[in-house]
Chains A and B, each alone.
Chain A
């Protein structure tokens, strides 16, 4: 187990380096002079510009810049922005909002997706199943931001149940609508996976064995079918939490939540490369860590997988 974990962590390193390099290269190859963007209308004196360029290592060769950057990241130093604030602080300040949004959405999705999936799976081929299928197709098909707009207009503006945007109401009221939008979109996939997995398991030979043991239908489903059906679902669930952090960007913009997404868009507009790269690096890290955690828990629910 320890050996496996260490090996997996070692494997993560090239992936992390590669992914951050891609983002780093894309960001710092952006056209436009960051200092010009910083100073706006009034140009700075030559000497000051040179000083700034030196302070931010802007004149070093590209690979040296990247190398310095990534070494800093491993020490917990994500660099500073043009106002001298540590990037990590900026991100950590915004992270709770995005995290709250992602976790709320994930929780809602978990409940909605599992309930619909299990319900459809147990009644495969019947009316309830068809209803569940229509639901999933609908929410897979309607673009998330259209649902968001609709919800915002109806519940926020029209009915006034929640604030249409902003974070004034705090958790949960400010988060409930955006999280629900994200959850509905994502729950469709989860519901389908759950349904398919459960239908497969219900056809399995070992359920016939359970029936031949004279077990009650409840015991067969709870004791024998669901746990087996959850094996592929758990993997998906773990990875999707990381994915929700990334997917929160557009929703944050629509609902004007001051999370990572907003920071990202603002930083791109201000050509704050270090912040953009910092956010991307952090998200990649989160994704990789979740990936690892999912693989480690996999062994707990499926004894056939040895770790």
Chain B
């Protein structure tokens, strides 16, 4: 059976006033039907750009796709016509955005915004689209959907708005759902509800889910697989529990430590020292070398490739063996 999504050696650059920034530098990903993948990384690591590239939402220019393939059920999205892409966007793959308030058009009622998908992709009548929108709002458990279908986005609470965005994304029963920081803008209690909803909908519809976040606990809670991104590359990848429980890349280790230590109230977070590399001038060697306690000459002269470090796991570190023994204080 073909993979639901396969990304091969994707490269994206942005031209800025200061020069060319490398946002994605050779990313490989794959996802099966019904599988959930977390992409974890700091802002600027390229995780959001990856999502937008898959969805075809990059503004080009300034962005430029320098190479790679994005296969959705075997069909390369990068060479498909604009029309074909539009046919796939919505019915086959769709996206949930971070900030529901700005993701929804303020001047249209939410029912019309959901119903638009049925009208455009399935040719429903105005009335049928509205009925389908109400059904969809019910499905994401918006109370009194029928009476709220004509309300405007600003009339809903933050959590309800995010449910509307999810209803829009799920409206045409897509195979692939990409959620870009879906809970970052929400209160902690609402966060849990939204994650629950996403998980449940994914399982019910046997949907592939890519969850993009900077929040380890979200990844841990929702996803089977995780890919950790740093400076436009995937540095570690594998089953979520294994990767987070037993990191084989010093960066993943740093991330998991900062979370572990936050549980110990009153102690300072052991932030990873230093800052990410300048995307305008990526180093020749490992991007993480300048912040890495294990870095040596090899790290600064050549970039480590992703190599297998166990069953279904890869890590891009020359010293992945040493990382394991360093886990002592990571709880």
Contact = CB atoms under 8 A, between A and B. Distances in A.
Whether A and B touch directly in their complex, counting CB atoms under 8 A apart, is answered as yes
Interface of A: 204-206, 208-216, 219, 223-224, 227-228, 231, 301-304
Nearest to B112: A223
10 contacts: A204-B102, A206-B102, A211-B56, A211-B57, A212-B90, A212-B95, A214-B85, A214-B90, A224-B105, A304-B106
A209 B89 contact: no
Contacts of B107: 227-228, 231, 301-303
Contact of A205 (B55, B89, B94, B99): B99
Contact of A213 (B99, B108, B120, B152): B120
Contact of A206 (B85, B104, B154): B104
A209 B105 contact: yes
A215 B94 CA distance: 12
Contacts, number: 72
A212 B105 CA distance: 13
Contacts of B152: 303-304
A208 B105 contact: no
Contacts of A224: 105, 108
B103 interface: yes
Given A205-B97, A303-B154, A304-B152, A213 B89 contact: yes
A205 B116 contact: no
Nearest to A207: B105
B326 interface: no
Given A206-B102, A215-B120, A303-B152, 13 more contacts: A205-B97, A206-B104, A208-B97, A209-B105, A211-B89, A212-B89, A212-B95, A213-B117, A215-B116, A224-B105, A228-B107, A303-B106, A303-B154
B250 interface: no
Given A214-B88, A303-B152, A304-B154, A228 B106 contact: yes
Interface string B100-125: 00111111110000001100110000
Given A303-B106, A304-B106, A214 B99 contact: no
Contacts of B85: 214
Chief secondary structure at chain A's binding surface:
helix
Contacts of A211: 56-57, 89
A301 B120 CA distance: 24
A214 B72 CA distance: 15
A215 to B, nearest CB: 6
Nearest to A217: B82
A301 B107 CA distance: 7
A228 B113 CA distance: 14
Contacts of B55: 212
Nearest to A209: B103
Contacts of B95: 212
Given A213-B117, A219-B120, A208 B154 contact: no
Contacts of B90: 212-214
Most chain A CB within 10 A, of B95, B97, B107, B116, is at: B107
A304 B106 CA distance: 7
B30 interface: no
B88 A205 contact: no
Contact of B104 (A209, A215, A223, A231): A209
B297 to A, nearest CB: 44
Contacts of A208: 57, 97, 103
Interface in B63-109: 85-91, 94-95, 97, 99, 102-109
Contacts of B87: 214
